[in-house]
Amino acid sequence: MRPPLLQSTVSFGGLSFDPLVWSEPLMWLVLAAFLGSAVLLRYDESWARRVAVAGWGLFGLFWLVLIPHFTLTQKSLVEGVGSLAAVPLSLYAGYLLWNGRDSLFALTRAVGVMGIVYVPFLTIGPLRQWLVEVVTDQTAFLMSLTGIDPLVVDGYSHNGIEIATKQYPYESTFWFDHEAGPITYNILLACTGMGSISIFAGGILAVDAPWRRKLRALALTVSLIYVLNLFRNVFIAIMFGQQRMQWFEGTIMSLFGLSDPRMVSYYIADRMLAQFGSVVALVVITWFLVRELPEITVLVEDLLYLVTGTEYDLSSAFDIERETGEAVTRPSDD
């Protein structure tokens, strides 16, 4: 059995650089800083501020290291732009927190909780395999309802043909027979929706609110993201596996630096349509979440301020009654 194949090494000017190798230790340092700050805040605000600011600096470095991975290896416009923007935004968050914007302690705590939710799936093999294979099975079931029933295979090869860019030998590959050779679509951890789920879970669990409403908001949000992600997988698998989006082949191949014209359907379906659609869906989910859990407006307002430099009062916009500090409550629902 060969080791997992991680297509992450970037070569430039004769030098090779693996962003994922450098990002992992940074990830642990960021997580320790953010969670440590949350604990210190209970005892010593000045030290909590120092640790949190250091964490935001490391967070900026974390995203800086990953820019080549998302732009050159993954060729993802959404993730590339997002990682590029995250660098100055992280540094700006640390600057604002150092200069007294204490509401950012909540956002710091939220990012730490996001890590607690996501990192186990990233680092614990059996847990990751279980999630990936469950999502694969459910995606296959939904595809069968449309009359499409591709073979699902495990391992790094099938019938003597290597499965390209597969990371782990899980039963997570859709195999489509094609006249020019088989087309394979791999379900990865990134295809499970766990990244988006962890973002919302971190925000929900980090704010001050009654646990009854937090758990209700968490259940609704996680369920919605999970189901939408399954339909996203079905869409990409069908469009790619059956080559239904072979549009503007020359332009798309030049834009993404592709050598195989059959990848055009994948890049249109995933990198262009599904990823932008996911951004829209997450914005809509955030809107509903603010209505369900108004306390989370403190996080959304800080994020908007980091991006635009303008203060927003979402409590007034959504007709929410705000109490002092971070908490926002609706007296009729406790």
Residues tagged active-site: 191, 232
Measured CA distances, 214 to 202, 211, 279 (Å): 11, 5, 23
Rounded Cα–Cα distance for residues 213 and 113 (Å)? 18
Q: Which two tokens stand for residue 146?
A: 């449309």
Rounded Cα–Cα distance for residues 47 and 38 (Å)? 10
Rounded Cα–Cα distance for residues 108 and 37 (Å)? 8
Bridge-based pairing of strands 173-176 and 183-186 is antiparallel
Bridge-based pairing of strands 157-158 and 183-186 is unpaired
